[in-house]
Structures are given as C-alpha cells and as structure tokens.
C-alpha cells in the first residue's frame, strides 16, 4: 500500500536542520519529543546506551597480551632464574616483556585508528524533536523518539511504525527470510533490519540492551578475533607443542639434576635453557602485531577494518565481484537525451489511456482521457506538446520521490523538482518509490484538466513486453554504455496488483554515468595479480558490458542477462565461473552467484553500496562497503572504504597478502626453533649429558636468528596470494629444518665433549656457533627472494654474533669462549653439511609443493 502524498505546495515554511528527512514535517504529524521530554528520559536511563565499540577496550588489550599461556610459562622460568642467578641468564624474560609491550602498543594504535574511523563512518539517524528534524548519535536515541527512515537506513532500535510511504523493510538479517515486508502504521519494526523501499517513521519502544538486536549489533561492530584458518592453524600447533612440552620438560629436569647433582643451580639453569626455546611465544605475538599494523596502515588510507580476519580473507581472495554503479562508475548521472516513442496513435490524441474517457477504472475513479491532455487536443506542434507533458510528468515524479536515487536525481536536475508552479498545477495523488525488486517507481497524478493517470519510470525490459520495437533502441543505447529508463502512462491505479498492466510507453530517458578515473587501473591491477573481477549489476546486461568493455575488462564483450541463468545448480555454477559480466541481477541472484563461485573453491570478495548488495555482502568471504553506502551494507561488511574510492582496493588486497604471507614466512623460523629444542632435550635426556646451553645462549640465538629478523620480515612487502594448508606448508620446512639443526648441533657438541669433557664452556661455545650457523642458513632460506635490505639484515645478524664472540666483555657476559681451532672448525664443517642438507630438503619440498 502507498500513502497519499501531500501536495508540494503544502510544505511548511519552518526551517529544517541540514539533511532533513522528506517525512520530517508534514501537516498533521507529530513534532516529536520536546527537549524537556528527552532530558527526562535521559535522567531515567531510557536511552539507547548500548556500548557499541569498534575495538577491544584498553583493559582487554593489556590482559590479552600479558596473561597468555606461554607468558605464564616464561614468567615462572624467569622467576626461577632470578632466584638461582646470574641475571644474564634471565635476559629471555626481558625479551618477553619487550615483545608484550610492543604488542600492547601496536594494538592500542590500531584501537585508536579504528575508533576514530568508526566515529567517522557511524550512522547518524534522524529524529523529530521540538518540531524539527535532527541528526543524533545512535546512543542519543531515547524512548518514544520519532525516528525517520529512508531507503538504506538501518533500524537502530525496536519500535512501532507511525508513518509509512511505501515503506518496505528487509528483516533477513534477523529472520532469514529474504522477502521485504511492507509496513503499515501500527506494525512493529526490529533493530537490525533495514529499509529497502519507501520512507516512514516509527516511535522507539525499546532502546539500549532491551532492543532485539542490541547484543548482535555490539558483536557485529566489534574489532573481533574470530576463527580463521591462520589462527586455527597456529592454535593447533601450540596445543601440540603444549602437550609435547610437559613430558619433555619433566625428563629434562630429572636428567639435569642427575648430571649436575653436585651443583643444583647449574642444573636448574640448563634445564630452563632447554625449556624456554621450546615455547614459540613470539609467533602468537607477531601475528597480533602484524594484524594490528595492517589495520593501522589501512586506516591511513581511509579503510575501516571491522574484523581482524578480514585481513586474512583479503590475502586469499581470488575473485572480486563488483557492482557497476558506485564502484566502476561515480554516483552522479546526467540526462543526455529524452526520446519520444512513436506509439502509432492519432497525433490528435498524444496520450491515450486505453479505456474510453467515460469508462470507470477498477477502483471506480475516472481515468484520464485524450481530452484531458494538459494542452487540449492535438495540433501542429503535437509532438512538442507531448514532450513538454513528459517533462512535466518527470518533474512531478522526481518531486514525489522521498529518497531519490542517482537516476532520479539526474531527472530532478534536468526537469525541476516537481513544484506546482513549475508543472502547471499537476498534483500527486499517490507515490511508490523505486524498488530493486520491481525495478520501477511510479506516481498517480491528478492532471491539469482533472483526470487521473499513473506514470511509471523504470527498466524498459521489465515494463515492456518481449519483442517490443522500442527494446531494439534500448539495446542500441545500452551497448554504448548508456542507461535507459522507460516512461509510460496507464489508467490502472498505482495500488492495483499490477500497475504496469496496459502501460503505454511514451519516452526513453537516456542517462550517462560517469566512469571513475581510477577504475581501469584498478581492474588491470586485479588482472596482474590473478584475481578475477566479475561485474554483477542490476542494470541491463548490454549497458553493463559496454561500461566494462570501455574499462578493458576481459570477457566484457559477452555480458549475460541474469534472467537467463539456468535453474540447475551445477549449470548455474558453471555459468557463474565462466562469465565475467552479469546484468539484470536481482539481490537474491547476487547472493546465489557468490555462493556458486564459493562452491567452486573460490574465495570471493563482494563490493557494494546499496541495500540490494546486502545479502551478497553478508555471504561473501569478504564484504567491502562504500563509506557513503547504506547503513545496512556497512553493518554486514568486514571492510568499509570510507573515502568511497575503488582505487583503494589494490592497497587493501596488497595489505592482506603482506600480512598473511609474512606470518606464514616467519612462522617457519619459530617452529624450527621449537623442533630443534625438543630434539636437543631428548638427546640430552637419553645420553645423560649436560644441556649444551645456558639461558643466555638461547637468548642470543633466538634474538639474532628469529626475533629481530622475524619482526622485519613480517613487515616486508609480499604480493603472493595466500593459499589453504597453512599448517602443512609451515611444518614442511620446520620439521626437517629443526631435525637437521638439532642433529648438527648435538653432533658438534658431542665431538667437543669427547676432547675435553670438563671444559663445558668451550663445548657450549662450539654448540652455540654450530647452531647459529645452521639457524642463519634457515633464515637465509626463509628470507628469499633476496633484495638489498634482506641481505643487509642477514649480514647484520652475523656481524652481531661475531661481536658477541670477539668483544671481551660481551663474550664474558654471555659466557662464550672458543678454545683452539679444531673444535670450532669442526663445528663450522658440520654446519656447512647441515646447510647443504637444508638446501636439498628445501628444494625437494618446493618441487613437491609445485607439483
């Protein structure tokens, strides 16, 4: 049902706030709460005070970074070292403190960026107070507020509809039902739903935590750490390590106490030196830091990341589905032509309506007849008269639209705002706004001579029967990248079941969309990165194809009308995979196309800005909304481009690849250390030997071969698309690398002990040298392909270790001294053999992965 529209000339003269709603102040409507009533409700706590946050609180960030399982283990070990001394063996504790501080600082920076960006992109609902329309914050709505709604607006709180003008609300995010619900005064609306057609207002009946979707909204807008393959894989590895850590630690404690029975302090130190390297404490921390830095970097580009896993999802994307309007083209449009359609009728009767002039319409009202033409009967300038009448009707339609879309705004710019003065006394009886499901809008007009007629403006291929001669002209214009709307007139009332029945086409409104300057370059970027771009639009297929072809999109010369998509799921998925451009796609079909691509193993990102994109955005692996898009799209999207720039997408995808690719790269370093530490512990237990290292030695090795290099490698550029199988790929290098490093180290240590079993410091120094060389070789493999800064990084780590060995006060502090030349060179030789084995293993694993 539609509501009677007020005459344009009846608008009140009071000033409205900027951005006032079309339903803001019409005669007979309540002026909303007064300021005093609002203050009373705020004092009573009847305010929408749900603490919607875009990120974790500072307390949660500190707690998450400090109170971890592995920090607890390391903390206990550090406490023990403080008791048994010396202090240099407790350096690993200071590293944990530093790393935790870095994690907290980086996440607090991310929080600051997110909170500020979320504030920029936050919805500002309009309410009616003190007789004026005002914009308030979401948390500023109070009980009994009159909240105004338009197309794309999200229902913030629960309420009861008080005004409706063709108001249709989609409750699919709450109920799962995809069909929009037509709302009338007295109907209930629930928070979390959104408007897809029409306009209206409702009275808030439940606010704050009492609202139906309050908790869901809070969770949806929070900066979350939800499940993802990367985090699940890391958690699986850490759980396994935890179970392996306990028995290994117990065995190591017993063996060291037995071997160093006369010096229990030395036994405890070497036991801790064996346990601490098993803990890949930096892996979890570095993951959080990389995510946080990624969020900050994207924030600087006006890109709001609403969920951390979106970073990972971006790295895995291989298909991007784009909406033409607002993505490839700018929001604005221009009317470039108005073409009258030759109806083949008598020129003396330019606007025929079908039934005889005196025949009543189905609702008993008299339809407009030929004699009711605004200019009277025909004459020598008849087609000019028709064109002027068409322009006047378009002006009335534009003025009656509560929330004009870009096409209607172009009509407003071309043909006026529908004021009675401009259109010679026409009046709007009823109005029906544009709906993406109907693909047309309409008005019922009282024309100057007293007759009534319905005027419809919409998609020609929807309003016209198949084979109509005008469709050939529409296709010709669409092939040029132009958008074409059909204007028609009928005697059927607007509230009839099918207002388009008997429609007489009168004119084609030709519009031109402005292409984004950066669209072509962005599409070329996706092509170079092997990311397939697909254009999915509700516009005519030939028009969409023309725009895509102009931008150089491969496959754009074969656009497909979505109405011809096969019903069979298998055939549907085949068509979705091989087709690049889709036109006349309904919101439900957008969702089905995303699902079909996902069924073929694709990771799909979907961009959109309108309510017709919400279902597809929700189901896509990554939903990307435009900052000026509807509240509904921003609510379900993981990423919001606040600057509305499609050119930001390459940076977004590149950032995701950088983060995930580098985390996978450095994860191998941490797990190599875990593997060789466990192996060394087991060898020590079985051979009843002193553990080859003190905690200070493990600190030097971890810092120079893993900690510092991993930090820089995690921030390096990386354009490789992430793939599934994270755990398998990481362990493919970590297990053989750790086994080779541990075996080589223990071999050099055993040979040194065979020469002088009593000089434990010299034996430890040989083992430290050997392990450093093997670990640096692992780092050299992980750091490929080389560039100047990566070579400099490896060289710097080698130089730092050389200083530790050669500078007297450093070698004394870390208790390292190489005696003679035989054992050190044996260690170097063993490390060289181990490096060759690492190279062979790495090449075999790489070839296997490629196959």
Q: What is the DSSP string of 745-803?
A: HHHHHHHHHHH-TT-HHHHHHHHHHHHHHHHHHHHHHHTPSP-HHHHHHHHHHHHHHHH
Burial class (CB in 10 A: 0-12, 13-18, 19+), 380: exposed
Q: Look at residue 136 and tell me whether its pLDDT is greater than 50.
A: yes
Q: How confident is the model at residue 377 (pLDDT cuts 50, 70, 90)?
A: very low
Same domain, 603 and 495: no
In percent, the amount of the chain with pLDDT more than 70 equals 80
Report the pLDDT value the prediction gives residue 828, as an integer from 0 to 100: 93
How much of the chain exceeds pLDDT 90, in percent? 16
pLDDT tens profile 797-825: 999 999 998 898 888 888 888 877 888 89
Mean pLDDT of the region 305-310: 70
- Out of 644, 676, 695, a domain closes at 644
The residue out of 515, 544, 577 marking a domain boundary is 515
User: 446 and 490 share a domain?
Assistant: yes
Average pLDDT over residues 410-421: 68
Is a pLDDT exceeding 70 seen at residue 352?
no
Looking at the structure, tell me whether residues 799 and 730 fall in a common domain.
yes
Count of the separate structural domains present in the chain: 4
Q: How far apart are CA 253 and CA 271, in angstroms?
A: 6
Residue 56 scores a pLDDT above 60: yes
pLDDT value at position 122? 63
The rounded distance, in Å, linking the Cα atoms of 700 and 694 is 10
Could you tell me if 237 and 284 lie in one domain?
Answer: yes
Q: Over 60: is that where the pLDDT of 420 sits? A: no
Residue 412 confidence class, pLDDT cut points 50, 70, 90: confident
Return the CATH number at 587. Answer: 3.40.50.1000
Mean pLDDT (whole number) for 420-424:
48
Assess contact for 139 and 183: CB atoms under 8 A. no
Tell me the mean pLDDT in the region 566-576: 92
For residue 309, the model assigns a pLDDT of: 66
In the chain the first and final C-alpha atoms are separated, in Å, by 62
User: How large is the average pLDDT for residues 703-732?
Assistant: 81
198, 222, 246 — which closes off a domain? 222
The CATH number covering residue 801 comes to: 1.20.1110.10
CB within 8 Å of 180: residues ≥ 6 apart: 168, 169, 170, 196, 197, 435, 437
pLDDT-wise least confident of 138-152, 188-202, 384-398, 623-637: 623-637
Model confidence pLDDT, tens digit, residues 461-510: 888 888 888 888 888 887 777 888 999 998 888 888 888 888 889 999 99
Which residue range forms the structural domain that includes residue 257? 224-298+653-850
Catalytic residues: 323
Tell me, yes or no, whether 507 and 614 share the same domain.
Answer: no
């Amino acid at each position: 049902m539609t509501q009677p529209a007020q005459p344009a000339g009846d608008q009140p003269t009071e000033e409205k706030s900027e951005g006032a709603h079309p339903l803001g102040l019409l005669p007979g409507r309540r002026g909303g709460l007064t300021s005093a009533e609002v203050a009373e409700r705020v004092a009573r706590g009847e305010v929408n005070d749900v603490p919607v946050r875009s990120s974790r609180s500072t307390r949660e960030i500190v707690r998450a970074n400090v109170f971890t399982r592995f920090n607890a283990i390391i903390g206990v070990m550090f406490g023990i070292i403080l008791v048994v001394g010396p202090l240099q063996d407790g350096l690993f504790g200071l590293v944990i403190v530093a790393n935790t501080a870095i994690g907290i600082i980086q996440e607090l920076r991310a929080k600051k960026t997110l909170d500020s960006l979320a504030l920029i992109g936050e919805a500002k609902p309009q309410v009616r107070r003190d007789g004026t329309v005002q914009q308030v914050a979401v948390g500023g709505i109070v009980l009994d507020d009159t909240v105004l709604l338009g197309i794309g607006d999200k229902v913030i709180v629960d309420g009861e509809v008080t005004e409706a003008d063709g108001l249709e609300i989609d409750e699919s995010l709450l109920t799962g039902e995809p069909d929009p619900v037509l709302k009338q005064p007295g109907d209930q609306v629930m928070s979390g739903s959104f408007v897809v057609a029409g306009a209206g207002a409702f009275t808030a009946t439940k606010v704050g935590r009492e609202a139906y979707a309050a908790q869901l909204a809070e969770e949806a807008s929070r900066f979350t750490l939800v499940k993802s393959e990367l985090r699940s894989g890391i958690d699986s590895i850490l759980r396994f390590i935890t179970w392996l850590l306990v028995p290994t630690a117990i065995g190591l404690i017993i063996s060291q106490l037995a071997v160093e029975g006369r010096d229990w302090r030395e036994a405890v130190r070497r036991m801790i030196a064996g346990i601490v390297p098993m803990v890949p404490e930096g892996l979890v921390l570095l993951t959080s830091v990389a995510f946080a830095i990624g969020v900050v970097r994207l924030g600087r580009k006006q890109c709001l990341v609403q969920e951390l896993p979106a970073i990972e999802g971006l790295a895995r994307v291989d298909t991007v589905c784009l909406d033409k309007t607002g993505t490839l083209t700018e929001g604005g449009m221009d009317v470039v032509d108005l073409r009258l359609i030759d109806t083949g009728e008598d020129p003396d009767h330019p606007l025929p309506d079908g039934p005889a002039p005196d025949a009543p319409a189905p609702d008993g009202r008299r339809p407009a007849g030929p004699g009711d033409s605004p200019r009277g009967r025909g004459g020598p300038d008849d087609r000019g008269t028709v064109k002027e009448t068409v322009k006047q009707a378009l002006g009335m339609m534009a003025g009656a639209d509560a929330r004009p879309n870009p096409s209607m705004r172009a009509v407003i710019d071309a043909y006026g705002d529908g004021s009675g003065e401009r259109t010679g006394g026409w009046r709007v009886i009823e109005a029906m706004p544009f709906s993406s499901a109907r693909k047309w809008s309409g008005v019922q007009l009282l024309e100057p001579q007293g007759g009534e007629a319905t005027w419809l403006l919409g998609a020609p291929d929807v309003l016209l029967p198949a084979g109509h001669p005008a469709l050939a002209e529409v296709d010709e214009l669409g092939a040029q990248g132009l958008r074409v709307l059909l204007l028609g007139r009928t005697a059927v009332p607007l509230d009839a079941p099918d207002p388009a029945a008997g429609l007489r086409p009168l004119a084609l409104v030709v519009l031109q969309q402005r292409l984004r300057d950066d669209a072509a370059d962005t599409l070329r970027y996706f092509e170079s990165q092997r990311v397939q771009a697909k254009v999915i639009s509700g516009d005519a297929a030939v028009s969409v194809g023309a725009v895509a072809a102009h931008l150089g999109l491969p496959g754009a010369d074969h656009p497909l009308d979505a109405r011809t998509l096969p019903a069979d799921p298998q055939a549907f998925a085949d068509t979705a995979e091989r087709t690049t451009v889709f036109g006349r796609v309904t919101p439900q079909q957008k969702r089905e196309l995303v699902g079909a691509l996902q069924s073929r193993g694709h990771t799909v990102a979907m961009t959109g800005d309108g309510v017709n994109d919400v279902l597809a955005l929700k189901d896509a692996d990554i939903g990307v909304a435009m900052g000026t898009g509807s509240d509904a799209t921003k609510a379900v999207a993981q990423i919001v481009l606040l600057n509305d720039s499609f050119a930001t997408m390459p940076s977004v995808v590149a950032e995701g690849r950088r983060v995930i690719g580098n985390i996978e790269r450095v994860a191998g370093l941490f797990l190599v250390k875990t593997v060789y530490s466990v192996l060394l512990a087991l060898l020590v237990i079985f051979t009843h030997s002193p553990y080859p290292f003190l905690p200070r030695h493990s600190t030097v090795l971890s810092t120079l071969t893993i900690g510092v290099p991993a930090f820089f490698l995690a921030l390096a550029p990386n354009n490789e698309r992430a793939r599934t199988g994270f755990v398998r790929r990481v362990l493919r290098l970590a297990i053989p690398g750790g086994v080779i490093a541990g075996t080589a180290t223990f071999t050099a240590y055993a040979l040194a002990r065979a020469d002088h079993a009593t000089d434990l410091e010299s034996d430890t120094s040989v083992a430290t040298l050997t392990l450093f060389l093997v670990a640096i070789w692992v780092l050299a493999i992980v750091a490929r392909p080389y560039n100047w800064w990566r070579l400099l990084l490896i060289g710097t780590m080698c130089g730092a270790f050389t200083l530790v060995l050669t500078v007297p006060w450093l070698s004394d502090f870390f208790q390292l001294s190489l005696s003679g030349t035989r054992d050190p060179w044996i260690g170097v030789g063993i490390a060289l053999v181990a490096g060759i084995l690492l190279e062979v293993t790495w090449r075999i694993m790489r070839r296997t992965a490629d196959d």
